[in-house]
Structure 1
Amino acid sequence: MEGTSVIAVDLGATHYRAALVTADGCVSGFVQGDTPREGVSGEVVTRAVGDAVASVLGQSRAAAIGVASAGPLDLVGGRVVCSPNMAFDEVPLVGPLSERFGLPVRLLNDCRAGALGERWRGAAQGVDDLVYLTLSTGIGGGAVVGGRLLLGRDGNAGEVGHLFVDAGYALPCGCGHRGHWEAYASGTGMPRFFAAWLAKKNLQNPSFDTSSSRGILGAAARGDPLAGAFMDALGEINARALSDIIIAYSPEMIVLDGPIAQAHGDLLIRHIVPHLDRYLPTPAIMVSPLGGRAPLLGAAAYALGLR
């Protein structure tokens, strides 16, 4: 599809983004907004995404729309269903967008899109076995194995944020279960894990902000000893998940992305590596060089027919 442009959308629980992307990966007309959390139904999200697409499209021409969305997804119905981090049980996407713009709409999970984006234009170009992980409001993943993007039966292969990592604290996850990785190391989970860890250690509340992952990780980066001690506990939890991922996919490379990884990826990696199992060789672990745009580029690649 040389010379072709597509509209790419990255729909997350907190923010959405859209852009016009060419077949050689050039991005233009970028727009973003806050994902609606109030309204009668998920159609308020659908309308917001549609308005973003209209803004990007303008007078330009596009061959298709690629949508990378937080899941779980119903690919047959073309919608988001029962997402633990979105405010609505259902967000219709494919049908309404196709009807509004008269273009084919190709939907995939945002983390599967992230893996595709990294392989197309990021750290994993030329890599046939990789795992992409996003650390954000939630935690998700996507894998390319033997050069093939893994989608699973219904497009939801790679929901690694719901790997079971702990029975000691048994923290509740947004999905309704306990002990999942997302409940400990995501943007929403980390402050709760810190509070539980602090209580278990019988330690006093620190002077730094503990209400956000940014506050906790920022304190650790500045050398705060209490935050540093917590980083070792967090590193052990993260390493349990990554050890499972390495066993499951045997990747050559693991790419970390999302706001948490973009801001503090090196700090996280430093505390993960000592706790990793060594049953299989440790892959290269790095932060995405795409500045958070891997899912957007992956959505474009998917719309362009790249797999």
Structure 2
Amino acid sequence: MPNLIAVDLGGTQIRAGIVTENGRILEHARTPTPVVGQSGAVVTDALLGLIERLLRSPAGTEAAIAAVGISSAGPLDLTRGMMVHSPNIAFPEVALVEPVRERFGVPTFLVNDARAGLLGERWVGAARGCGNVVYVTMSTGIGGGAVVGGRLLLGRNGNAGEIGHLFVDNHYNQRCGCGHLGHWEAYGSGRFMPRFFAAWQESEGIGDAGFVADTPAAIFAAARAGEPVALAFMEALGRVNARGISNVIVAYNPEVIVFDGPIARYNGDLVIEHLMPFVDRYLALPRLVVSTFEGRAPLLGAAAYAWESL
């Protein structure tokens, strides 16, 4: 049986894998996402090189490749098959579908990375068989995807579910990478959480925090160690995350919310613990779970999307 190649393009790295029709990843490779160059062509070239590396692997030579599925950080322009003006990518446009299709001569399909993660979880993961699901990825940015009544919500240009840009705060007025104030991504994402910590620390009149809060990992480690300042910040972060999750619940009425991305993967227990007291109970609280795919859900979802499109 033929296999296909799935690609996951994020702000930090590009992953790719050869995936079977039942969701097995036979080969896997990754490379850093380029941040220096004259145009987005450097990202496209890195992606093409990664696919070529897989095609030279044993699994790539043993079976025909039926298609390529690409999961990409958004926003996307599905008409042109491109990533456009992503706040977490160094270039305004990155061509994806046409370069891959022309280079390898197979059908190529593009879907937002958070929507892809959702499809992966519904295919073979924590949301398997669920008809109403929201996927929340907490990584460089914050993204999401929703299935409502068994149907994936895509929106006009494939960008429905950009939940990282939900408005959650007008007290600290943190500026998001997209340029606007108060968006969830400006507080709970890996890129901006340390800056939010600094703003909160100043607002609370706290001098020495007792630890260096320059990464989310350092903040969560201090909280696990019982550092009083870190634990106090966990409450502030929990309130903001709860506003985002409360908005998600009333917008989509899910039965399960799957958290993914490095922040959730390594510290999902703390994220959920500290947001739970502040989540609105207007609608029934869904099941909150952390993905067990170790970051591979968008890759699997890109494959699922390609198989369904074929």
**What TM-score bracket applies, with the shorter chain setting the length?**
over 0.9
Q: Which whole-Å CA distance do the structure 2 matches of 1:57 and 1:250 have between them?
A: 42
Unmatched 5+ residue regions in structure 2? none
TM-score, normalising length from structure 2?
A: 0.97
How do 1:74-89 and structure 2 match up within 5 A?
74-89=77-92
Q: Which whole-Å CA distance do the structure 1 matches of 2:212 and 2:95 have between them?
A: 37
Deviation at 1:306, TM superposition (A): 6.3
Deviations along 1:224-256, one digit per CA (max 9) or x if unpaired, are 111000000000000000000000000000000
Q: CA RMSD in A?
A: 1.0
Q: Which whole-Å CA distance do the structure 2 matches of 1:236 and 1:138 have between them?
A: 18
Deviation at 1:28, TM superposition (A): 1.6
Residue 5 of structure 2: aligned partner: 7
Q: Is the 8 A contact 1:198 1:205 kept in 2?
A: no
Aligned residue pairs total 305
Q: Which whole-Å CA distance do the structure 2 matches of 1:222 and 1:12 have between them?
A: 31
Residue 300 of structure 1: aligned partner: 303
Q: Is the 8 A contact 1:118 1:124 kept in 2?
A: yes
- Report the 3-state secondary structure (helix = DSSP H, G, I; strand = E; otherwise coil) of the residue aligned with 1:214: helix
TM-score, normalising length from structure 1?
A: 0.98
Residue 65 of structure 1: aligned partner: 68
Residue 185 of structure 1: aligned partner: 188
Residue 43 of structure 2: aligned partner: 45
Q: Which whole-Å CA distance do the structure 1 matches of 2:284 and 2:265 have between them?
A: 25
1:173 paired residue among 176, 187, 197: 176
Q: Is the 8 A contact 2:148 2:252 kept in 1?
A: yes
Amino acid at match of 1:90: E
Are 1:251 and 2:254 matched, yes or no? yes
- Report the 3-state secondary structure (helix = DSSP H, G, I; strand = E; otherwise coil) of the residue aligned with 2:6: strand
Q: Is the 8 A contact 1:20 1:30 kept in 2?
A: yes
Q: Which whole-Å CA distance do the structure 2 matches of 1:49 and 1:121 have between them?
A: 25
Unmatched 5+ residue regions in structure 1? none
Residue 103 of structure 1: aligned partner: 106
Q: Which whole-Å CA distance do the structure 2 matches of 1:261 and 1:144 have between them?
A: 20
Q: Which whole-Å CA distance do the structure 2 matches of 1:218 and 1:67 have between them?
A: 34
Are 1:205 and 2:203 matched, yes or no? no
Q: Is the 8 A contact 2:109 2:309 kept in 1?
A: no
Residue 266 of structure 2: aligned partner: 263
Q: Which whole-Å CA distance do the structure 2 matches of 1:23 and 1:218 have between them?
A: 39
Q: Which whole-Å CA distance do the structure 2 matches of 1:179 and 1:157 have between them?
A: 19
Q: Is the 8 A contact 1:16 1:34 kept in 2?
A: yes
Deviation at 1:301, TM superposition (A): 0.5
Amino acid at match of 1:221: R
1:285 paired residue among 288, 296, 299: 288
Q: Which whole-Å CA distance do the structure 2 matches of 1:294 and 1:91 have between them?
A: 22
Deviation at 1:4, TM superposition (A): 3.1
Q: Which whole-Å CA distance do the structure 2 matches of 1:306 and 1:24 have between them?
A: 15
1:55 paired residue among 45, 53, 56: 53
Between 204-213 and 230-239, the greater mean CA deviation after superposition? 204-213
Are 1:113 and 2:111 matched, yes or no? no
Amino acid at match of 2:173: A
Amino acid at match of 2:46: A
Residue 134 of structure 2: aligned partner: 131
1:144 paired residue among 139, 147, 151: 147
Q: Is the 8 A contact 1:8 1:296 kept in 2?
A: yes
Deviations along 1:136-172, one digit per CA (max 9) or x if unpaired, are 0000000111111111111000000000000011100
Q: Is the 8 A contact 1:94 1:105 kept in 2?
A: yes
Amino acid at match of 2:283: L
Q: Is the 8 A contact 1:31 1:56 kept in 2?
A: yes
Residue 226 of structure 2: aligned partner: 223
Q: Which whole-Å CA distance do the structure 1 matches of 2:65 and 2:199 have between them?
A: 50
